[in-house]
Amino acid sequence: MTGIRTFALAAPLALAAACGPRLQRPNPTIPPSQAAPRPARVAANPADWVLRNGKIFVGDSAGTTVEAMAVRGGRVVYAGPESGLADMVGPATRQTDLQGRLVTPGFNDAHIHFAAGGASLLAVDLGGTRSLAEIERRVAAAAANAQPGEWIQGRGWDHTRLPAGELGPGGWPTNEILNRAAPRNPVILSRVDGHTSWANREALRIAGVTRTTRAPAGGEIIRDPRTGEATGILKESAETLVSRVVPDPTPAQVRRGIRAAMELAARTGVTSVQSDVSAADVEAYRALRAADSLTVRVYGWFPLTRQSIERLQAQGVTAPTGDEWVRLGMVKGYTDGTLGSRTAAMLEPFADDHSTRGLPQYTEAQLDSLVGAADRAGLQVLLHAIGDAANRQALDAFERAARQNPPRARRHRVEHAQVLDRRDIPRFRQLGVIASMQPTHATSDMRWAETRIGRQRAVEGAYAWRTLLDSGAVVIFGTDFAVEPMAPVEGIYSAVTRQSREEPGMPPGGWLPEQRLTRAEAIRLYTAASAYGEWEEARKGTLRPGMLADFVVWSADLLTVPDAEILRAVPTMTVVGGRAVYSRP
């Protein structure tokens, strides 16, 4: 699976807060009348907030945990034994008894579609649907509340979960049920991976897609073999045939989507995101920042195009540019599609369809030209790559850009890095290229991944975060929301078990268990490593003194609870910049 193509929270809750200094017990060996009074200790520079009696996972490479932490001015000023708080408590200092709870750094989702995912929360949700009848009911319900001619959008359907007997040409659904569910409205539904769209007849009519319409390079239109008519399934670049006529969201709709995403982030422990952005998104983030209403830190990417590169250059943007809340400097390109849609670019044909090796999105010359230009402009380049051929093409492009352009610090990234040829794994470390991965993809895709690529390719390099780490590569974690759930606990569980989130414990021992991580490693890849992936390791990602006070208090100890209980853990408090943006009711 892979990413989407972009087409007043709760008040702080003190956990059993102790409202004042501890009482001194009288010394029974000295009569009260003879005991010399002790002068009250006055903190010279009191903290705004102290948290004690906890298990605070600092997030360093040693896996350090401490009992207490102090925050001042939105930053951590102390992390250590509880005795170290003695000089940090003043009359106005807020005090929280953690009651032994685990605290981790705030989670930094290194690959997310934040605004678009938030908008999808307000659209038709097709996640988990297992029949065409259920999809038809959900679309019909949306149509009943829509004006005639109003676009109905949704996402989350997955044809691999639908009964094979319900599917049409090529094993895909057809627009018949959408025509019936919304006869007066154009409908466009994005597959769970965001790389295939499903349109009804009215949407195709508005877009001018007919039996004679040719798919653009890198795309495919599924057709009825008897009539030649489009069935409504549009893969990869062919999605734009319809998406280009869908009205842009209004500024109010953009803000609603971002607010929905922020609320979900706060509830799940996400304090920073690295996301696709549009100009409208950036404007909304900056307006929220100005109003002191932004509750998540954002590092945004624009599409890898000549236009984006030139616009960012004209604005003086390099990687990274901005403050600790909103920053720019990344550009992202797509080298291929997805495994689920058989559009990932493979070195050898798919195991279950020998007629195809996927759909590459660039020629070598095209990709080299774009990556070279972005690199010269000082931008951070992200390349979506799923198949082993696409990953090799991405690494080759980065290698040539570094050889041809002047030396400089680079942190280019391959997004997903899902299927790697074993010969390319050492190149990530050698080239300094970051592997930006999403552990939930492995546990979502393991139902059919070996059917697509075969056992041998899976063993050699599928979702191989352990092999990459052991080779010395930098690996960072994200979720790809809304492709996958935003909750980091699902990624932690996936990374440490390689087992189903729907049926915890299955398969026994995990799928390709040699790729499992420790829990501390998984948390660090979501926090400290992700901060490195956005040039922010000196400011966030750990809870050392001087770092931003972005942290999460958990309902359960993610480091020790039984595996299945990781999935049930939730934040009891999420804090960004020393301010609680969520407290569990």
DSSP annotation string for 306-368: HHHHHHHHHTT--SSEE-SSEEEEEEEEES---TTTT-S--SS-BTTBTT------S-HHHHH
Q: What 3-state DSSP class applies to 584?
A: coil
Mean of pLDDT values over 198-206: 96
* Residue 285 confidence (pLDDT): 98
Q: How far is CA 205 from the centre of its chain?
A: 35
197 in a domain, yes or no?
yes
* Residue 315 confidence (pLDDT): 97
* Residue 137 confidence (pLDDT): 95
Q: What band does 42 get if pLDDT is binned at 50, 70 and 90?
A: low
101 in a domain, yes or no?
no
* Residue 112 confidence (pLDDT): 98
Helices (H), 145-186: 176-181
CATH number for 238: 3.10.310.70
146 in a domain, yes or no?
yes
Q: What band does 35 get if pLDDT is binned at 50, 70 and 90?
A: very low
pLDDT tens readout for residues 280-330: 999 999 999 999 999 999 999 999 999 999 999 999 999 999 999 999 999
Mean of pLDDT values over 535-554: 98
Evaluate the CA torsion angle 130, 258, 480, 237 in order and state its sign: positive
Residue 19 has pLDDT above 80, yes or no: no
230 in a domain, yes or no?
yes
84 in a domain, yes or no?
no
* Residue 41 confidence (pLDDT): 57
- Mean confidence (pLDDT) of the chain: 92
Mean of pLDDT values over 398-423: 98
The C-alpha angle 10, 13, 18, rounded to 5 degrees, equals: 165
Residue 486 has pLDDT above 70, yes or no: yes
Q: What band does 194 get if pLDDT is binned at 50, 70 and 90?
A: confident
Mean of pLDDT values over 52-64: 97
- The pLDDT > 70 percentage for the chain reads 93
* Residue 525 confidence (pLDDT): 98
User: Own/partner pairs for 207-215, CB < 8 Å, 24+ apart?
Assistant: 207/241, 207/242, 207/244, 207/245, 209/234, 209/241, 209/242, 213/241, 215/241
Tokens 């996400």, residue?
A: 270
- The pLDDT > 90 percentage for the chain reads 88
Residue 253 has pLDDT above 50, yes or no: yes
214 in a domain, yes or no?
yes
* Residue 166 confidence (pLDDT): 92
284 in a domain, yes or no?
no
186 in a domain, yes or no?
yes
Q: How many structural domains compose the chain?
A: 1
The C-alpha atoms of residue 314 and residue 511 are separated, in whole angstroms, by 48
Q: Which domain holds residue 150?
A: 115-243
